[in-house]
Structure 1
Amino acid sequence: MSQIERTIAEAARAWPFEEARKLVARTGGKAPAKGYVLFETGYGPSGLPHIGTFGEVVRTTMVRQAFQRLSDVPTRLFCFSDDMDGLRKVPDNVPNKEMLAQHLGKPLTAVPDPFSNEYPSFGAANNARLRAFLDSFGFEYEFQSATDWYKSGRFDKMLLTMLRHYDEVQAIMLPTLGEERRATYSIFLPISPKTGRVLQVPVIKTDADAGTIVYRDEDGTLVETPVTGGNVKLQWKADWAGRWFALDVDYEMYGKDLIPSAELSARIVRILGGKPPEGFNYELFLDEEGKKISKSKGNGLSVEEWLRYAPPESLALYMFQAPRRAKRLYFDVIPRAIDDYLSFIEKMPSEEPAKAADNPAWHIHNGKPVDHHAAGVSFAMLLNLASVAHTDDKDVLWQYLRRYVPGATPENAPYLDRLLQGAVAYYQDFVKSTKKFRLPTDKERAALKDLADTLRAIPESESAEFIQNEVYEAGKRHFAKEELRQWFKTLYEVLLGSEQGPRMGAFIKLFGRDNVVRLIERALAGEDLGKAA
């Protein structure tokens, strides 16, 4: 890292740099005893992976990248799956619910795969889905399984430390529970050797020297078991603290709803003799109705659903923007996210280095400019192209796109091809049914006829900006200055069937001058533009 790059990073004000400075202060510029700064994200594989989970990884990655600009201390990122948790209920959005119901209470990695028997367990199947997406995005991370850490013995030292401080940790947890729960609560959850279930039962006796606990199994028998070797797991708040302590985690994010839990876990870490990680709490995502998104309910967008319509970079941008503000995470946010991303990526190469470091695209691409060969193309424009072309055939739409981006093909401009594919799908699924075309008024007819005559006289080779100016001038000849907004609304409603639309100069350049003239002629003739000519 050059001194110039370091100076630029030190001046940057984007939130990942602000977070990274906490870690610089924590380490004092030196590597911890373990040799690296450890970032961690947690994942509960009780439901299908969702965008909130991805958000933690991408945001944490952004902070990690910022830290790497500020410090030479090595870093690692663990994506840790709590896959030894017991299956508490059957998720709403998975198949074979009756089969899953027979395995309630068992660790997720001991519950059969309900999807296709492709994986050894429900936990493994959901872990694979998470990893597949993270891999497709190109994250640098190390996947970690709670089951593996417990059963391999790598948590044994931490578990024995937790046992030695059992009464102190219990004293932290019990005041946070209801009276009935306090009567049976223990930070240790034994796994029954008879049923295989994770048991929520009181611990009758602890023996720190022997490293064992005694509990009563489901059939009433007393069982003494080691806390090591995967015979027990920890209740999740103690488990979170135990993980922080065992791994010596330096940084972890969590949702706003987990702030009290994080505070409790931090207290437990200190009792164990460790140092809690630096943290960042983000606001929760909301569904279409403004309710909190739940993995088990599946009431938000899935990763696959977002990617049906948009490239992953647009999702990364949505995660970057205002992480401490509650935002709806539904289909209608996708077009804006795509176009905002395209705007940021187009600006980045021409920005001064200091300003570029605050550009969201810098954090999405780790400071490296990317040319998608999509200059001037917007998702909104492609949606309108799909509307007026009356086709769901991407190859047909490419005939228009080549006019706007000379020389571009699906092969040499794959990002444009991806945008076009997403626009076709989004138009068919969400926009087509909402189109409402109307006929022009007499005043609007005169302006539209004028525009058609104007366009006929413009050479095909003219730029989008020139055409935009001519559209504006045509409107000025028929609408007062304060009515010009209505002129463009007229174009959108009459020609595109929408109250809003793209810059008309760019759209005309894309769809073609003569095609737009024919569109105007059809509108003037009273035809229904919602149907193909």
Structure 2
Amino acid sequence: MSMNDLIAAARVNKAWPFQEAQRLLKRYPDGVKPDGSPVLFETGYGPSGLPHIGTFQEVLRTTLVRRAFEAMIGAKPEDGKTRLVAFSDDMDGLRKVPDNVPNQALLAKHLGKPLSRIPDPFEKGHESFAAHNNAMLRAFLDRFGFDYEFIAANDMYNSGRFDAALKQVLRKNQAILDIMLPTLREERRRTYSPILPISPSTGRVLQVPVEVVDPEAGLVRFQDENGASVEQTVLGGTAKLQWKVDWAMRWYSLGVDYEMYGKDLTDSGVQSGKIVEVLGGRKPEGLIYELFLDEKGEKISKSKGNGLTIEEWLSYGSEESLGFYIFPNPKSAKSLHVGVIPRAVDDYWQFRAALPTQELDKQLGNPVWHLLRANGGWQAEEAPGAGDTLPVTYGLLLNLVGVLGAEADREAVWSYLANYVEDADPAKHPELDVLVGTALAYNREFVAPTLKKRAPVDGERDALKALDCALQVIAPDMPAEEIQTIVYEIGKREEFGFENLRDWFKCLYETLLGSEQGPRMGSFIALYGVENSRKLIAGALDR
């Protein structure tokens, strides 16, 4: 594939990252900013809590748009035509003590202070609570190989790099108030100010009326917590901005061109967009994405603990499957619970296997094409691993582990895989070995406690006896497809009374595996072994 072919195909492709990147191309038709600087993508992080799956999805999706834009302008990642900034709002005041951190009494003493000026409750040697969480963010993003630049609000405010933008906020103070005050309740209007000075007496971020004294000098006047009238600068880390103003100021100061955000920030995006224009900047392009839901369809809440963490997903699935699950339809809400993991793993591998043989337009719509490019690959269909397949599906692996029971271990699973997989050696199949471990964990936590094999009834018993007789005479190494044909033919026989093949397979799943759904039985029998499968049938008949 030539670069010109890629550019032409990318510019007309309907996959959502290309549709988002198309908006950037309209912003900069030549693919570059007027001053020649890189097109800037940004993601935001609030370090009052640890990074989570929402952080991951925002950085991943933004990266996908970044790579799509590069494809449209014929740039490779190493060309430096784009940047991705992960911004931490660590000057925000601590509003409440999080439930899931140690030394809560320590944090309670520092309520209201900037997160970057509160001691580290984790006692890990970091200079502040925010520094600890920022380090966790960087480790989190590095774990997944994201290409990004980390910027902390604390560094920008304290170093003076935001000073010019802060002076502009002071100059436009009344215009900003004209935007914000109509959106606030009467009580809030009386204390609202775009500027949040930091108390010289307590170090807390203050929500008080502020009078602008001298915009060019950065001077303001306000009443401190002790009642004193204070005149001080807002420069050099002595103040921060209200959230919506801060967001707009960041866009203005850094020159952000693209930032996506969740549906819950829709109103903030509208107001911040107006404010950045008042400051003399331009609102970034961006996607408003839907939020994650739990298995009951309720919004995921950190305080409720009804979500699924990154660690939980990686305990029961793979990194690639998480990205694959997040990829489609960002404007539609997604249910995020452990039940979606097995399908995501198998779908990822199905799309990955298909990638090299697809026409270019189909490749560009394949989620795996985007995921393989996310961290630097240019021609994703030629990337290491493109076109690979798993020798067994994750669903089949889960069924095997389910039959082996909660006490099964890695060695036992691999001994059965030898019936089905050529060169059944974990060292030769490292990605499968990862899934063996996650399948064991998934089975132990979610499958084994729910398995309940029922007894066969009426014609089901005769059908199972017929299957046992057929298995008795076949070769132990009969291919899975031939075994599947035998299973099909038995299910079609009228004397057993199945209305359709679905009923026959439901019988097999419920009596032999103890679940309502299951694998292709030919594949399962080949994997589990003919004689072992006959023992399952005998157990069902005895039941």
Alpha-carbon offset, residue 114 of structure 1: 2.4
Summarize the alignment of residues 65-214 of structure 1 with structure 2, pairs less than 5 Å apart.
Answer: 65-72=67-74, 74-214=81-221
Residues 326 and 372 from structure 1, CA distance in 2 versus in 1: closer, same or farther, beyond 3 angstroms?
same
Alignment RMSD (CA, Å): 1.8
Q: Paired residue for 1:42?
A: 44
d(CA) in 2 for partners of 1:255, 1:395 = 44
Q: Paired residue for 2:317?
A: 310
Q: Secondary structure at the match of 2:150?
A: strand
Q: Paired residue for 1:435?
A: 451
Contact 1:373 1:413 in 2 (8 A): no
The alignment status of 1:64 with 2:66, answered yes or no, reads yes
Aligned partner of 1:351 among 343, 358, 372: 358
d(CA) in 1 for partners of 2:184, 2:307 = 30
Q: Paired residue for 1:242?
A: 249
The code of the aligned residue for 1:45 comes to P
d(CA) in 2 for partners of 1:301, 1:207 = 50
d(CA) in 2 for partners of 1:479, 1:353 = 49
Contact 1:245 1:274 in 2 (8 A): yes
Residues 114 and 172 from structure 1, CA distance in 2 versus in 1: closer, same or farther, beyond 3 angstroms?
same
Contact 2:170 2:212 in 1 (8 A): no
Alpha-carbon offset, residue 319 of structure 1: 1.4
Residues 204 and 272 from structure 1, CA distance in 2 versus in 1: closer, same or farther, beyond 3 angstroms?
closer
Residues 143 and 297 from structure 1, CA distance in 2 versus in 1: closer, same or farther, beyond 3 angstroms?
farther
Alpha-carbon offset, residue 392 of structure 1: 3.4
Q: Deviations over 1:161-198 (max 9, x none)?
A: 11111111111111111111110011111112222211
Q: Secondary structure at the match of 2:220?
A: strand
Aligned partner of 1:469 among 479, 485, 488: 485
Contact 1:81 1:127 in 2 (8 A): yes
Q: Deviations over 1:369-418 (max 9, x none)?
A: 52585435222212211111123312211111233221132222211111
Q: Paired residue for 2:15?
A: 14
Alpha-carbon offset, residue 354 of structure 1: 1.6
Contact 1:91 1:297 in 2 (8 A): no
Contact 2:41 2:62 in 1 (8 A): yes
Q: Secondary structure at the match of 1:31?
A: coil
Contact 1:150 1:228 in 2 (8 A): yes
Q: Paired residue for 2:5?
A: 4
Stretch moving more, 204-213 or 231-240: 204-213
Residues 480 and 357 from structure 1, CA distance in 2 versus in 1: closer, same or farther, beyond 3 angstroms?
farther
Contact 1:93 1:298 in 2 (8 A): no
Residues 371 and 524 from structure 1, CA distance in 2 versus in 1: closer, same or farther, beyond 3 angstroms?
farther
Contact 2:353 2:388 in 1 (8 A): no
The alignment status of 1:455 with 2:462, answered yes or no, reads no
Contact 2:16 2:329 in 1 (8 A): no
d(CA) in 1 for partners of 2:72, 2:473 = 57
The code of the aligned residue for 2:229 comes to L
d(CA) in 2 for partners of 1:401, 1:135 = 34
Q: Paired residue for 1:253?
A: 260
Stretch moving more, 372-381 or 416-425: 372-381
Aligned partner of 2:425 among 409, 420, 426: 409
Q: Deviations over 1:260-307 (max 9, x none)?
A: 211111111111111111011011112344332234554322211211
d(CA) in 2 for partners of 1:290, 1:263 = 27
Q: Percent identity?
A: 55
Q: Secondary structure at the match of 1:365?
A: helix
d(CA) in 2 for partners of 1:295, 1:228 = 34
Contact 2:46 2:88 in 1 (8 A): yes
Q: Deviations over 1:211-248 (max 9, x none)?
A: 11111111111222212111111111000000000011
The code of the aligned residue for 2:167 comes to L
Residues 296 and 228 from structure 1, CA distance in 2 versus in 1: closer, same or farther, beyond 3 angstroms?
farther
Q: Secondary structure at the match of 1:403?
A: coil
Residues 207 and 443 from structure 1, CA distance in 2 versus in 1: closer, same or farther, beyond 3 angstroms?
same
Contact 2:352 2:388 in 1 (8 A): no
Contact 1:20 1:66 in 2 (8 A): yes
Residues 96 and 290 from structure 1, CA distance in 2 versus in 1: closer, same or farther, beyond 3 angstroms?
farther
Summarize the alignment of residues 214-233 of structure 1 with structure 2, pairs less than 5 Å apart.
Answer: 214-233=221-240
Q: Paired residue for 1:531?
A: none
Residues 244 and 295 from structure 1, CA distance in 2 versus in 1: closer, same or farther, beyond 3 angstroms?
farther
Contact 2:454 2:514 in 1 (8 A): yes
d(CA) in 1 for partners of 2:31, 2:8 = 19
Alpha-carbon offset, residue 480 of structure 1: 5.4
d(CA) in 1 for partners of 2:87, 2:36 = 18
Contact 1:373 1:415 in 2 (8 A): no
d(CA) in 1 for partners of 2:252, 2:56 = 24
Contact 2:53 2:308 in 1 (8 A): yes
d(CA) in 2 for partners of 1:146, 1:24 = 29
d(CA) in 2 for partners of 1:481, 1:124 = 64
The alignment status of 1:421 with 2:421, answered yes or no, reads no
d(CA) in 1 for partners of 2:130, 2:306 = 20
The alignment status of 1:386 with 2:401, answered yes or no, reads yes
Q: Secondary structure at the match of 1:278?
A: coil
Contact 2:7 2:74 in 1 (8 A): no
The TM-score, its normalising length taken from structure 1, stands at 0.95
The code of the aligned residue for 2:48 comes to S
The alignment status of 1:520 with 2:537, answered yes or no, reads yes
Q: Paired residue for 1:529?
A: none
Unaligned runs of 5+ in 1: 527-533
Contact 2:4 2:74 in 1 (8 A): no
Alpha-carbon offset, residue 483 of structure 1: 2.4
The code of the aligned residue for 2:71 comes to R
Q: Deviations over 1:1-26 (max 9, x none)?
A: 62112222223211001111111111
Q: Secondary structure at the match of 1:16?
A: helix
Aligned partner of 1:486 among 490, 503, 514: 503
Contact 1:266 1:276 in 2 (8 A): yes
Contact 1:46 1:296 in 2 (8 A): no
Q: Deviations over 1:432-489 (max 9, x none)?
A: 1111111111311111111122223332333222221221112112545732211000
Contact 1:19 1:63 in 2 (8 A): yes
Q: Paired residue for 1:530?
A: none
d(CA) in 2 for partners of 1:198, 1:503 = 62
Stretch moving more, 137-146 or 335-344: 335-344
Contact 1:93 1:297 in 2 (8 A): no
Stretch moving more, 261-270 or 325-334: 325-334
